[in-house]
Chains A and B, each alone.
Chain A
Amino acid sequence: MNMLECHGLTKCYGKVTALDNLDLTLESGRIVGLLGPNGSGKTTLIKLATRLIQPTKGSIMIAGQLPGHATKAITSYLPDREYLPNDLRVKSLLGLYRDFYRDFNEKKALDMLESLDISERMELKKMSKGTKEKVRLILTMSRDAKIYLLDEPIAGVDPAARDYILRTIIQNYSEDALVIISTHLIADVEAVLDEAVFIRQGKLILHQTVDEIRQETGKSVDEHFREVFRC
């Protein structure tokens, strides 16, 4: 099933074109890397998918519908910045997710928190950056959603935490869901991805499976990316 479908999708901020006539279709059951340098339009695409912003031209559809109430109910979004109240304890955060999202699987969240020795009494602001990032990811992945939009989930955490985060993604996505991971840390996510989408200056440069890229170029996706985007 087509979980995300863009046709001629364009977003301008004043005179700046952040996304430029993008055609892209992504299917369920896949983990897709949204890859591009800073300012290439990755976050803009994700924000359009969550209806935080609206297209200037063209269309974007989530599971066959325009972004809105219905699609928000099936979209689990991890923003690239802090979005949870810093003075809340884990227990209240769980309550927040329980109240907001019908598909929140609290047991899943509790199991993951326990495996990391994160107590429900812990306050977000007293956690290290890596632990905070893990808590956010746990909350995001504990929803039984149809589309997961993870904006830079591994930026700014150490390699061990990265590993944990990626394994959590593999373990928790369901086979009828689409996971989109935006990042510029390609070497770290490469093995986890089905497909890679390269964008530059708001334009689609490449959309292929990771193994096709490796087969055809004789290089890793990371190396290929460095060549395509050489400054």
Chain B
Amino acid sequence: MSSNPLPTGVTPVKSTGLHVGEIAPGVKKVDPIIIADGVTRKFGGLTAVNVEHLEIPRNAITALIGPNGAGKTTLFNLLTGFDKPDTGSWTFDGKNMKGVAAYQAAKLGQVRTFQLTKALGLLTVMENMKLGAKNQVGERIFPSLFPGFWRKQEATNEVKALDLLKKFKLDTKQTDFAASLSGGQRKLLEMARALMSDPKLVMLDEPMAGVNPALTQSLLEHILNLKQEGMTVLFVEHDMHMVRHIADWVVVMAMGEVVAEGPPDEVMRNQKVIDAYLGSHQDVDLGVVTGRVKGKMDPEAKKMAEEVEHLDQAINASEKGDN
């Protein structure tokens, strides 16, 4: 783990030496925050998650990647108590989490965001933020009747919320209903709200989906900052540039299983990962292949163009057959 000050968004400081022994799916970590064993979840006949052993390193940024339907979000739901596994157990920060309800998991310092943003639209931005704070006296029913019990804490929370909102550039929106924010701003709000609880582990489900490039840059900085502040980040993401850029460790899932893990550059060279997820043509510019963009056709692009041509002909032939 590096103790260098964080460069502002340019080159993130990667944490290295997170694992013990040879890198393989389920490798031991030096200091894991989550240890999962034999976690399975079936939906009818479909095994959505089947994780033999998985450890998430503490105070590092771990990316969870994999094709659609690989079980990433289901695993997220299981780890956060939003869903119950059929078998298996896991610990968070040394505590056995089996049967722990979602709200209790959050209280223990494990907060999450959702793939479909859940900003509470008809609450104001500030109310959203204050809702994130933990251990509020005023949230208990009897003290809530008497402002004397909670006014001071409320003021403290407001200062903290404003501070976070400034960081996320939402401070000018604090009295607006969250519903009036753009999709990207809602993602920011959801993340800021999660941070109100001073979590140990922040779990982000596709934080970049639907966020414009400029905002992506600031979101990346925020995520890197979390590590700097001593938190652990686990996120699901499809954007490989982002994964390569900020993740210290990458876990790849396919068909519910962990098929590979390791530091980003190593994982992305892994043949299994390429087959299951990245695809063999990941570096080919589709614009060039389709002829919409002028560019150099390298051998790989040519090969892909030929494949496409072949498929096209097959489709045309079958359509003629139908008529």
To the question of whether A and B form a pair in one complex, the answer is no
Residues of A within 8 A of B (CB): none
Residues of B within 8 A of A (CB): none
